[in-house]
Amino acid sequence: MSDGPPVASKILLIVMDGASDRPVNGTTPLASADTPNLDALAYGGINGIMDTVGIGVRPGSDVSHLAILGYDPFKYYTGRGPFEAAGIGIDVKRGDIAFRCNFATVEDGIVRDRRAGRIEDTDELARAIREKVKVPGVDIIFKRSTGHRAALVLRGKGLSPDITDTDPHKSGVPLSECRATTGSAGARHTADIVNSVSRQVIEALDHHPVNMARKERGLLPGNAILIRGAGDVPDLPGFHGKYGMKGAVVASPGLIIGIGKLCGMECHTIGGLGIELSGSVADEKIDKAVAELRTHDFVLVNVKGADEAGHDGDFERKARFFEEMDISFKGLLHLPDVLVIVTADHSTPVSVRGHSADPVPIVMHGPGVRIDDVDRYSELIAHKGGLTRIKGLDVMPIAMDLLNRTKKFGA
Ligand SMILES: [Zn+2]
């Protein structure tokens, strides 16, 4: 092997969240943006399109990242709660039941505002919940996230995720009772715990000084939490054990960091809390990812801005985001022993203002790839390349084989 052609020893996987689109007047933000460096990766690489989770499956970012990392979401995905909780730094364990929460305003049992007037500073309220809310035999772990968001984890014996939300998902209606969705004793027991937590939180927060001060200023109090998205913490095989590679993740806070943590990868949080409109944060993330390649064999980096522009239906801003971040691809064209992969986790078409199942473009650039005729990075032409149409679960096997790390099957 030593005198043969060069082989990559590391993988840099860049996921541009929600990057691809449906055509508007015959073109897309990605196809119309001026991105010479991204195009150079496509020109010197092997290209294709990818159904991240499945044909016609409209994926969330969590399930699509799991699939791209080689974890079948139909087997491992148990809901968003565990990843959110892990993503904000709760050390979740197998058997825990995790939830997403909102601080909310509840008056006489009626949900007046699902975000408590977009409350920001919830440190004191979260501390009061940790100090005052108790359920015998169960650990209650509660942590605030950004804005009105938070996560709740229940740890104890015989808990079940088969329960409904206390979040009625609209305002002006009563706070919901949590109910078991199966006849199991564990589900009924867990529903009772959640209802107890929900009631105790209102007792702890309704007259809390922070809320009294908010009311005096004419602001809505954050005097309740809406609990939703119950999931038991999945038993994900560790990334290192699965691939024999030391992995790292660079992303904004939240879901993707949570996935990295549950796969046992080192995680680095960079960038805005949700909104990340400029290409400069993307540049910073890619710089960090390249730096992490010195000490890791595999780095996943997720950049956010395109997805947000898609959700806002803003074609121009989405195109501009690619142009702004294009410079960060320049340094990736000549990384000597790195297989660089650039793809998206799903399409977020500006015409849909949400996710769609349209396949995403993917390019692999590095030693050993069969360079094809595709000369631009675009969801409109990537299918003409040598990868044709693949699934998210195919990415890691293809990459591992290009690194000569797959085992021979058969004689
Ligand atoms: Zn996404």
Question: Domain coordinates of the chain in residue numbers?
Answer: 10-77+237-402, 86-232
Ligand 1 centroid vs 61 CA: distance in angstroms?
4
Distance 5 CA to ligand 1 centre (A): 36
Burial of 384 (0-12, 13-18, 19+ CB in 10 A): middle
Pick the CATH number of 10-77+237-402 from 3.40.50.300, 3.20.20.70, 3.40.720.10, 2.160.10.10: 3.40.720.10
Q: What residue has token string 């769609």?
A: 356
Mean pLDDT of the 312-340 span: 95
Instruction: Quote the CA–CA distance of 392 and 342 in Å, as a whole number.
Output: 13
Q: Smallest Cα–Cα separation from 349: which of 20, 3, 87?
A: 20
Q: What is the 60 CA–ligand 1 centroid distance (Å)?
A: 6
User: Rounded distance, CA 174 to CA 166, Å?
Assistant: 9
Ligand 1 centroid to 67 CA: how many Å?
A: 12
Share of the chain above pLDDT 90, in %: 91
Can you give the pTM of this predicted structure? 0.90
Q: What is the predicted pLDDT for the residue at 254?
A: 82
Å from CA of 261 to ligand 1 middle: 18
In this model, does residue 85 exceed pLDDT 50?
A: yes
∠8-72-7 over CA atoms, to 5°? 5
State in Å: Cα 58 to ligand 1 middle: 11
Instruction: Inform me whether the pLDDT recorded for 411 exceeds 90.
Output: no
Q: Compute, in angstroms, the gap from residue 21 CA to the centroid of ligand 1.
A: 13
| Residue 345 CA to ligand 1 centre (angstroms) | 5
Q: How far is the CA of 355 from the centre of ligand 1 (A)?
A: 8
Give the distance (Å) from ligand 1 centre to CA of residue 276: 13
Gap from CA of 7 to ligand 1 centroid (Å): 31
CA distance 112 to 126: 20
Which 3 state secondary structure label does DSSP give 204? helix
In angstroms, what is the span from residue 304 Cα to ligand 1's centroid?
Answer: 8
Confidence grade of residue 41 (pLDDT, cut at 50, 70, 90): very high
Distances (CA, A) of 300 to 210, 250, 316, 332, 340: 40, 6, 27, 14, 10
124 class by beta-carbon count within 10 Å (0-12 exposed, 13-18 middle, 19+ buried): middle
344 C-alpha to center of ligand 1: Å? 8
Q: Specify the pLDDT at position 274.
A: 46
CA distances, 27 to each of 113, 287, 355 (Å) = 40, 30, 18
Residue 368's nearest CA partner among 391, 390, 340 is 340
Reported as a single tens digit per residue, the pLDDT across 56-74 is: 999 999 999 999 999 999 9
Count CA within 13 A, CB hemisphere, residue 342: 33
Is residue 198 within 8 Å of residue 152, measured between CB atoms?
A: no
Proportion of the chain in helix, strand, coil states, percent, rounded to 5? 35, 20, 45
Pairwise CA distance, residues 300 & 342, whole Å: 10
What's the gap in Å between 354 CA and the centre of ligand 1?
10
Above 90 in pLDDT, residue 225? yes
pLDDT of residue 253: 72
CA of 323 relative to ligand 1 center, distance in Å: 19
Q: Which residue has the tokens 């990812």?
A: 289
Q: Calculate how far, in angstroms, residue 153's C-alpha sits from the geometric centre of ligand 1.
A: 24
- Tell me the average pLDDT of the chain: 94
pLDDT at 160: 96
Average pLDDT over residues 222-233: 95
Residue 271: the pLDDT is 77
Which residue do the tokens 């993307």 mark? 282
- DSSP H stretches of helix in 158-205: 185-205
Ligand 1 centroid, distance to 274 Cα (angstroms): 11
How remote is the CA of residue 237 from the centroid of ligand 1, in Å?
A: 23
DSSP 251-290: E-TTHHHHHHHHTT-EEEE-S-SS---SHHHHHHHHHHHH
* Amino acid type, 370: R
pLDDT of residue 403: 97
Please state, in angstroms and rounded to a whole number, the distance separating the CA atoms of residues 228 and 163. 9
Note the pLDDT tens digit of each residue in 254-294: 889 999 999 999 999 987 544 555 667 888 999 999 999 99
Q: For residue 3, how far is its CA from the centre of ligand 1 (angstroms)?
A: 42
User: What is d(CA 55, CA 233) in angstroms, rounded to the nearest whole number?
Assistant: 27
70 Ramachandran zone, left/alpha/beta (phi>0; psi -120 to 50): left
Q: How far apart are CA 378 and CA 64, in angstroms?
A: 19
